[in-house]
Every structure is written in C-alpha cells, then in structure tokens.
Amino acid sequence: MRALLDQVRAGAVDVDSAIDRLKHLPFEDLGFAKVDHHRALRQGIPEVVFGQAKTAEQVLGIVSSLVKRSGNVLVTRASAEMAHQVKGAFTDAEYFPASGALRIWRDRAKLGKGKIALVCAGTGDLPVAEEALVTAEVMGNEVDSISDVGVAGIHRLMSHRAQLMEARVVICCAGMEGALPSVVGGMVAAPVIAVPTSVGYGASFQGLAALLGMLNSCASNVTVVNIDNGFGAGYAASLMNRL
C-alpha cells in the first residue's frame, strides 16, 4: 500500500488507477488495522489451543509457536501424552489431569478488577470447574472456589453468602438437574455464568437436563455456556471482570 501511495504522490500512478488497485487489495492488508487494534484490546488474553482433535506432535508445534508471541498459552482437553511432550519442552508448563488443561503462565499480571466466585455443585463437577479456574487464572483473575454446595443441602450454600456477594462475577458448574445457578442467581446481584456439566445418568442425557434447566432459570442474571465448557465460562467471566 505504501508503495502504491508513494507512486501516487510521485505522480507515477493516477488517482483512478490507485482507487481501482486499492479496492482490490487483499483484505488482510487493509484489515491489519482492525487486527492490531483488536490485539490491543485482547491484551492479557492467552493464546488458546483446543487439544481434542489434534495429535501430541501438532499440539507441541502450535504451543512452541504461540509461546513466542505470548507468554501465556492454554491448551484445553489435552491428553496426558500432549502434556508429557509439552512439559518436556517447556518446564514451566502445568498440567491439570482432571480437566485436561495444560498451561504456560508467564505473564501473571492481575487484570481482573475483583474476584470471580467459582461455585460447584458436586465433586463430579470439579473437572469442569478446574478448566474454568485455570482459564480465569491465566487471564489474570483471582478466583474464589466454593465446592460441593448442591441445592439439596441449601444450608451449605447459604453459609457462603458473603463470599458470593463479594464476587464481581460468579461461575456456577452443576450437572444433574442444574438448579444451582438459579439459587445463586437469586442470592447475588452480579452476573452469573452457568456451566451445565455432563455429570449424571439416565435422563440427564449427558448434560441436556442441566442445560435446559439453566436456560430456563428464573433468575434473570444467569447466562449459559455449552455443556462442560468450563473454558468458555472462565473466559467470559474474565472479560466481565475487566469491565
């Protein structure tokens, strides 16, 4: 583009030709303005790799490439083999086997303006919560975890009122009937991100029951992400916590 404009300036290319050629420049050239601006906005957002459909070699390659651009890289749904290879190459990589999260976390600046509360209905939901936790941490948040507070023991949840009300954003992970976000949503004035988990059997239909429950929540401050999508919840909560 600069070359073209230099020629315009020098009178070597007339204005009509220049317009014509500008209109046909490939998008990526013109678009870098957007991309750079975008990147600026995205400061503090780690590079993320979805490990599931890749080989360990592919993951290692991608991580090696990304870590140069950004100190923080997150691989979700990584296998033990992926973790083994990446940790071989990057000794500061951390692997969380329950969720399959794999993290290189070098830039530890706090970017969130408050705490994110991470509430979990049962022990089976912990892997999903772990993925949310790892994500929110690497995106610069302090996370306050509250575990094993299913709605059938409402007093346990109630005893965490103070913690919940302090949070700027709340993430709720629950399987089975997925009722926790409704109760929590009624207790706080903060946005609540509900994560249905596939915990359950029979008519839970791999998390469908929890998903539908959360979408139909009678608490107005609840929004929902995909079943088992702890990463998405951690990510969205992090963006909210930066507001």
Q: Examine residue 22 and tell whether it contacts a second copy (CB under 8 A).
A: yes
Q: For residues 91 and 202, which CB has a smaller minimum distance to a second copy in the complex? A: 202
Segment interacting with a second copy (CB under 8 A) among 83-91, 102-110, 140-148, 222-230:
222-230
Residue 221 binding a second copy, by CB under 8 A: yes
Instruction: Report d(CA 106, CA 99) in Å as an integer.
Output: 21
CA–CA separation, 192 vs 183, rounded Å? 11
Among 72, 85, 141, 198, binds a second copy (CB under 8 A): 198
Binders of a second copy in range 156-185 (CB under 8 A): 158-159, 161-162, 165, 168-169, 175-179, 182-183, 185
For 55, 129, 157, 216, the CA distances from 152, given in Å and listed in that order, are 42, 19, 10, 19
Helix axis angle, 126-138 relative to 230-242, nearest 10°? Answer: 40
Among 100, 129, 140, 196, binds a second copy (CB under 8 A): 196
Q: Could you tell me if 226 and 194 are in contact, meaning their C-beta atoms sit under 8 angstroms apart?
A: no
Work out whether 64 is an interface residue with a second copy (CB under 8 A).
no
92 to each of 26, 53, 60, 130, how far by Cα in Å?
40, 24, 14, 19
Structure tokens at 172: 């709720």
Q: Is 80 in the site for a second copy (CB under 8 A)?
A: no
| 111 touches a second copy by CB under 8 A | no
Binding residue (CB under 8 A) for a second copy from 28, 68, 69, 110: 28
Q: Which is nearer to a second copy, 140 or 207 (CB)?
A: 207
Which of 155, 115, 163 is closest to 137 using CA atoms?
A: 115
Please choose, out of 48-56, 64-72, 102-110, 140-148, the segment that lies near a second copy by the rule CB under 8 A: 48-56
Q: Does 54 bind a second copy (CB under 8 A)?
A: yes
Strand 222-224 to strand 169-174: parallel, antiparallel, or no bridges (unpaired)?
unpaired
Instruction: Residue count of the chain, please give it.
Output: 243
